[in-house]
Amino acid sequence: MIDLPLGAVFQFLSIVAVGCYVQTVTGFALGLTVMGGVALLGVVPLNVATAAVTLVSLVNTSFALKNNAGNIAFRYLIIVVGMSLPFTWLGVWLLHYWQGAGQLMLARRLLGGVIAICAILFMLRPSAKPTPSSNSSFFVAGALAGFLGGMYATSGPPIVFHFYRQPWLREVIRDTLLAAFFLIATFRVIIAYTQDAVPIEAVGMAVYAVPVVLLFTWFAKRMPPKVSDATLRRFVFAVLIFTGVALLV
């Protein structure tokens, strides 16, 4: 099922383990960490990594939604997911096109810029507004999430940042985010399949990655780093900035 060197598979799963640990202790950066590490080290082709991360995200969010689906803000979910659809298609098509045209350096540099911007957002800590944002702002967040999800399986940053600026309960933010991630990942898989952009290697790597994700999620919850939240955030920020800049040059 995986026509890749064993060393490349091991390196990919190691990056997934690191990304999962970071995601669990910070609530952020699984997709960014994995895609940044894969692109920087050239472990596996970018399209394979993107498809694999999407499949892993689909499994994770489907399990999470089983117990966390009672507080979804459906109006805003429909706006975000509806707007994400054409941009998810655009992201999948553009990555597939660049892959076929031998222009993956452009994809690497764009990913570097995205990671650097998201690292800055990670440090900003958005504060809730007294009233919900306008519908147009949710359209923009959905478009960005769709494009980034389609290109790099990293739909999270735009809507995470935007949702945490809303005057909603934490449970509403959590459940609505999970539903948005699940639907965008589902759309990406369907769109990629119709464009023949789901490499068989990605399916195999996703199968191997799921137990790694479960193991390191459990590990991070029981053995979080013994540093302050501010120190941890600065460290993650530095790693993401380094990765983003390295991919840009």
Task: List the chain pLDDT tens, one digit each, 249 residues.
Answer: 566 788 888 999 999 999 888 887 876 678 888 999 999 888 888 888 999 999 988 888 887 777 767 789 999 999 999 999 999 999 999 998 898 777 888 999 999 999 999 888 878 877 888 999 999 999 999 999 999 999 999 998 899 999 999 999 988 988 898 899 999 999 999 999 888 778 888 888 999 999 998 898 889 888 988 888 788 888 888 989 999 999 998
pTM: 0.89
By C-alpha distance, which of 133, 33, 131 is closest to 80?
133
Residues whose CB falls within 8 Å of the CB of residue 218, separated by 6 or more in sequence, listed in order: none
Three-state secondary structure along 103-124?
A: CHHHHHHHHHHHHHHHHHHHHH
Q: What is the DSSP letter of 133?
A: P
Structure tokens at 123: 């440090």
- Contact between 146 and 155 (Cβ < 8 Å): yes
Q: Looking at residue 112, what is its pLDDT?
A: 94
What phi and psi, each to the nearest 5 degrees, are found at residue 225? -65, 140
At 1 the pLDDT is 55
What integer pLDDT is reported at residue 11 of this predicted model?
A: 92
Angstrom CA distances, 168 to 31, 72, 134, 205, stand at: 25, 11, 14, 37
Distances (CA, A) of 152 to 51, 71, 133, 136: 8, 28, 27, 24
Name residue 118's amino acid. C
* pLDDT of the residue at 241: 92
Neighbours of 143 (CB within 10 A): 19
Domain ranges for the chain: 6-248
Extract the tokens encoding 2: 């995986």
- Quick one: which of 61, 32, 35 has its CA closest to 48? 35
Helix residue ranges, H only, the chain = 6-26, 30-41, 46-67, 74-100, 104-124, 135-152, 156-163, 170-194, 200-222, 229-248
